[in-house]
Amino acid sequence: MNFYSIKDAIKYEGHDSKNPLAFRWYNPDQKVLGKTMRDHFRFAVCYWHTLCWPGLDPFGGDTFMRPWHHMADPMEAAKVKADLMFETLRLLDIDFFCFHDLDIAPEGKNLKEFNANVTAIAKIFEKKMAQSGKKLLWGTANMFSNRRFMAGAATNPDPDVFAYCAAQVKHCLDVTKDLGGENYVMWGGREGYETLINTNIGHELKQAGRFLSLAVEYKHKIGFKGPILIEPKPKEPTVHQYDFDVASIYGLLKSYGLENDVKLNIEQNHAILAGHTFQHEIALAAALGIFGSLDLNRGDYLLGWDTDQFAMNVPELTLMMLEVIRAGGFTTGGMNFDAKIRRQSIDPDDLLHAHAASMDATARGLLGAAKIIEDGRLQAEVDKRYAKWSEPVNKAMLEKGAALEAIAARVHKDAIEPQPKSGRQEYLENLLNQV
């Protein structure tokens, strides 16, 4: 299918290029802090917003009128979408893609048919991946669209739904493994409640923890090497989602002993909905040892829902990249464009412009972050702020054997009087702007 207007892959043409479909900052082979841009980002195109979403909003339907949304045979449409995914990856020079089972194949009459459809499309992927070298960053099961999930998936009051989800996740995990997927994601689409008056929150949390444990056990059984990634989101579609933010997921993981098997897929827009910055969520996940992957997008600060716009804000992306580098970068993770073009952006090429522009913006963020790191002054200030903790007497307070009364005695003996020091925020903000 001739969908896009261009045939040749988008290339890096330098900062001054006037070609609308060129990279001006994203230069895949350019090394930054000893690693190519390609390896820093590990960009991925997502199936759902790119190929499945028809441009609807609560007040209106399909604006995109994509031909495959109007084909009689859903399996034929699925094949067209598969072709287009690989064409999109080629044109954007992006190495990875991500999908929900339901994005790639039609549901059919029952789970058996659905699984067979998913497997059939996965076979097509296998061939295309071998030919092109493109890779699967992660797969996931859609357990939120069908009406059977309206009261939740693993946290549904009906145990039949819990069991059904087990069957769906098992298949999707098998397929993800067969395709060499580097991670498996769980976004708890409807794992939350609309109202507490009909909800047993304790029971639902127990269901969530148990379901996750079952998936982790199965992952080990089949030798799936990558981590399971949970994607926090505080609200929408439900009033309260159990996977609220990084901190609350860490609590769940700790109480089920899963903190070594499960990591996080953090999304900018979800961070905002939780009242956090993207940087906060990344820094916290890194500090807790559960940083995994990113869903790169941008929320609208004036709206209270998940607008999933393409990330374009360079200063924000600079601070985000600073945290990614501080976290040690990605191992199995990457940056998935969980982002959709606006519903008025109806030209096929708008999809290319959106991705390429966001890749450029992220590259500028990386270059800025690298400059800040190489400059060294910011880190020197942070190190200076905590320097006294390296003195043995202070270090000892954090170790086993320290006792409150012994510390108290030392304060009296040495007449310790804390001396406040400036946090120098404005000086540091100016320093960031200079860089």
Active site residues: 100, 103
Q: Residue 208 in contact with residue 192, Cβ under 8 Å? A: no
Any contact of residue 360 with Ni ion (CB under 5 A)? no
User: What are the DSSP E strand ranges found in 33-127?
Assistant: 35-36, 43-46, 96-100
Which one, 100 or 298, has the nearer CB to ligand XLS? 100
d(CA 346, CA 181) in angstroms, rounded, equals 31
Q: In angstroms, give the least distance from the CB of 188 to ligand XLS.
A: 9
Any contact of residue 306 with Ni ion (CB under 5 A)? yes
The DSSP output letter for 117 is H
Q: In angstroms, give the least distance from the CB of 283 to ligand XLS.
A: 20
- Which of ligand XLS, Ni ion, none does residue 140 bind to, with CB < 5 to 8 Å depending on kind? ligand XLS
Any contact of residue 103 with ligand XLS (CB under 6 A)? no
The neighbour count for residue 12, using CB atoms within 10 Å, is 19
Any contact of residue 101 with ligand XLS (CB under 6 A)? no
Write each residue from 108 to 137 as x if it is in contact with ligand XLS (CB under 6 A), else as -, in one continuous string. ------------------------------
Q: Residue 236 in contact with residue 306, Cβ under 8 Å? A: yes
Q: Residue 149 in contact with residue 143, Cβ under 8 Å? A: yes
Longest Cα–Cα distance of the chain, Å, equals 84
Q: Residue 295 in contact with residue 231, Cβ under 8 Å? A: yes
d(CA 396, CA 389) in angstroms, rounded, equals 9
Q: In angstroms, give the least distance from the CB of 345 to Ni ion.
A: 18
Nearest to 361 by CA among 310, 296, 298, 313: 313
Which one, 249 or 372, has the nearer CB to Ni ion? 249
Write each residue from 183 to 222 as x if it is in contact with ligand XLS (CB under 6 A), else as -, in one continuous string. --x-x-----------------------------------
Any contact of residue 245 with Ni ion (CB under 5 A)? no
Of 43, 338, 352, 359, the one binding ligand XLS (CB under 6 A) is 338
Q: Judged by CB under 5 A, how many residues of this single chain contact Ni ion?
A: 4
d(CA 65, CA 48) in angstroms, rounded, equals 15
Q: List 23's β-bridge partners, or say none.
A: 12
Which one, 98 or 372, has the nearer CB to Ni ion? 98
Binding footprint of ligand XLS on the chain (CB under 6 A): 100, 140, 185, 187, 231, 233, 267, 295, 306, 338
Binding footprint of Ni ion on the chain (CB under 5 A): 267, 295, 306, 338
